[in-house]
Amino acid sequence: MPAESYKKQLAEVLDKECLCIGLSNSAAITYKNTFVKNLNAVTICPGPNIVNFSNIVSLQTMVDHIYGRTNILSGNDRPHMFIAELNLYIDHLKEMLIEDRQTGQLDKNKKKHISFYQNLRNGILCYSGLPCVADTNRETFNWLLDLASVELDCLSYQYDLN
């Protein structure tokens, strides 16, 4: 395939589009309906676990990974899904606090921030009490929960979330 043709094809595949339309177009294919807004692309939404993959692989290799015949993960240091989710929420709280401080809305939204903080605290308590979470690496799981707890303590102190 000539390089120019390949570049054009790649550009079409990687073209930006509205996520809602692209995701709904897969249903249009399934039910033999017309595409929304006549955009003939289908979006593939990889989800947050995409960060654990770093290579471009064939469909066959991906299928082999899914069925456990091969491993294409970047590393073995993936956090448990609950830890990853907890860290996303802590980052979101930090972003809200920083933005509200910059815009002068910190006092106005304090109740919301305190509630968000308390929900994260309750989540950590819930995670630490689950008996079947991270059976194989419970020590690391608990250590990461402790780290998240310390980070929340720092935010609480810094932004007076009591």
pLDDT digits (tens, 9 = 90+) for 29-59: 788 877 766 666 676 767 767 777 888 888 8
Instruction: Write down the pLDDT at residue 32.
Output: 81
Phi, psi (deg, nearest 5) at residue 78: -70, 135
Mean pLDDT of 123-129: 92
More confident of the two residues 67 and 122: 122
Q: Whole-number mean pLDDT of the chain? A: 84
Residue 23, pLDDT > 60, answer: yes
Instruction: Write down the pLDDT at residue 38.
Output: 63
Q: What is the pTM of this model?
A: 0.62
Q: Confidence class of residue 17 from pLDDT cuts 50, 70 and 90?
A: low
SS3 letters for the chain? CCHHHHHHHHHHHCCCCCHHHHHHHHHHHHCCCCCHHHCCCCCCCCCHHHHHCCCCCCHHHHHHHHCCCCCCCCCCCCCCHHHHHHHHHHHHHHHHHHHHHHHCCCCCCHHHHHHHHHHHHHHHHHHHHCCCCCHHHHHHHHHHHHHHHHHHHHHHHHHCCC
